[in-house]
Structure 1
Amino acid sequence: MNRNKKFLYDYSYIDFSKTTSKKDVLVLLRRHDKDSFKYSFHTAAFNYAIAKELGVEDPNDLRTMFESGLFHDVGKLGMSYDFINYPGSYTLMMYNEMKKHSQGGAEILEKVNADIEIVEAAKYHHCNIDGSGYPAGLYGKEIPLSARITRISDSIDAYLSKRCYKEGGPAYEALFNLKQYSGTSYDDELIACFEVIHNRIMKECHLTGEDRPSQEMYVHFLTKLYLYDFPVTKAENILELFER
């Protein structure tokens, strides 16, 4: 059992007498795993763009959707660095422990009084629109909007990003990769929003003479097209958002 301790889920080491705000949680996440911190910013940016294409206009609602992506994986604070960055296939025990990060993230966010939409995104962002995924039991529009959007944004970034166990997928195929699971993993209406976003980004890339953009270029145009009215556009500056 001791040999497997680093693959057991546990966030009990967090001192919530000192970790009292969302900013504190982000500082912990950045210290715990810089890649997870960076991926969370990408997820937040896609959330913001999808919400805009869905017709959300209120700045407070858009920020909530951004933060829903930003905080969706804080439950990984309960996974050791070795666990998060494990290069092989999980054992069944490891998989079951990993799944606890969604509930754990919700609990962490509740302890710092995060908005309900942000808590729900952390808890339900692995729920699929067809009722599968985890935690089980929610289907279709029963899944909160913040979680349905984050489900897509998280998948986009996971597809694009190089991880310890895979290479990043080509950005120009991001839409095709997700669209084949529309109606099963993802909300059809939200995939349609992502289709508009992807086509706009690829048009900008094409105008520069690049039809096979890198992830860096793809995210650059995402922020240029959609985060032009948001106070922070880079992961390294994200903590400034909570100092305003």
Structure 2
Amino acid sequence: MAEVRGMPDEEMQMSRRLIKLERECRRLRERYEISLELADRETELRKAAEKERREKEIELDQVVGAIAKAIDAKDEDTNGHSVRVAGYSRMIAAGMGLGRKMIEHIYQAALLHDVGKVGVPDAVLKKPGRLTGGEFDIIRKHTLMGGEILGAIKSVPYIAEGALYHHERWDGRGYPQGLSGEAIPLTGRIIAIADVYDAMQSRRCYKEGMSRRQALAEIRQGAGTQFDPEIVEVFCQCISSACGGAEDGFV
């Protein structure tokens, strides 16, 4: 009799448990559906953000490229210099195993490394003969002017490093700040090599351009004094690799 009388209570308890489980399952299902909606929304937002980022990168590349062309057009003798230096700088950065973003940062900074020359008078910039001490001081200021111009672009702070530091030397005898060794930002150390290498090969109204072999020999000679020796080694290896081992054949 006790067992018979106890059955309804057990059934009732079971029924309550089932109702509770059903409600819990419903809540879990609702939460799951909400999480799916949030995941879909997050995916959409991520795609939209990535699209916006790519569009801004393309926009920045276009602006940087246009400015670089304007810089090179200021002096016919150096036309194309910024693009070549940027190409060498990108090659070095890739050879050092840097990440994609850093490689592109260095490339853009290299494109604009001479932007400060827009403030240098043509009479000084295009002078065919030897510069006087005063004229050289004016030329030296293009690093500070470039750093100031590009430093105003707060959204891309890295971009000023190439303009400001590409004439610093590993031994501390460069300008404008006389930094030495690894105190010189990496971007400046990389662009310094690319800049000098291209300048040595380029023909000017006051000089003939060096051969690639001669220019590479000069770069090697400057390792440890003018240039970061480790980056010089990477650069030379990259040039050799690009030439298939024949440095004079590099294009």
Distance in 1 (alpha carbons) for counterparts of 2:144 and 2:238: 30
Provide the residue aligned with 2:214 in structure 1: 173
Q: Deviations over 1:93-116 (max 9, x none)?
A: 101111000000111112344633
> RCO (CA 8 Å, sep 6+): is it higher in 1 or 2?
1
The equivalent residue for 2:25 is none
SS at 1:95's partner residue? helix
Q: Does 1:38 align with 2:80?
A: yes
CA contact (8 A) 2:106 2:187 kept: yes
Unaligned runs of 5+ in 2: 1-62
- Structure 1 residue 95 and structure 2 residue 149: aligned? no
Report what 1:119 is aligned to: 160
- Greater CA radius of gyration, 1 or 2? 2
- Verify: 1:152 aligned to 2:193, yes or no: yes
Amino acid aligned to 1:52: A
Taking the aligned partners of 1:65 and 1:32, their CA distance within structure 2 comes to 23
Q: Which of structure 1's runs of 4+ aligned residues deviate more than 6 A? A: none
| Runs of 5+ consecutive residues of structure 1 not aligned to the other structure | 1-20, 220-244
**CA–CA distance in 1 between the matches of 2:169 and 2:231?**
13
SS in 2 for 1:109: helix
Amino acid at match of 2:83: F
Q: Which residue is 1:52 aligned to?
A: 94
Q: TM-score, length-normalised on structure 2? A: 0.69
Alignment check: 8 A CA contact 1:118 1:146 kept: no
Q: Which has the higher helix share?
A: 2
Amino acid at match of 1:123: L
**Which residue type is aligned with residue 32 of structure 1?**
K
User: How much has 1:124 moved relative to structure 2?
Assistant: 1.0
1:57-97 per-position Cα deviation (integer Å, ceiling 9, x unaligned): x3221111111211101111011333222111110110111
C-alpha spacing 1:133/1:114, structure 2 compared with 1 (3 Å)? farther
Report the Cα distance in structure 1 between the residues aligned to 2:202 and 2:79, rounded to whole angstroms.
13
Alpha-carbon distance, 1:201 to partner: 3.0
Mapped partners of 2:73, 2:215: distance in 1: 30
Give the share of equivalent positions with the same residue, in percent. 33
Could you tell me which residue of structure 1 aligns to residue 41 of structure 2? Answer: none
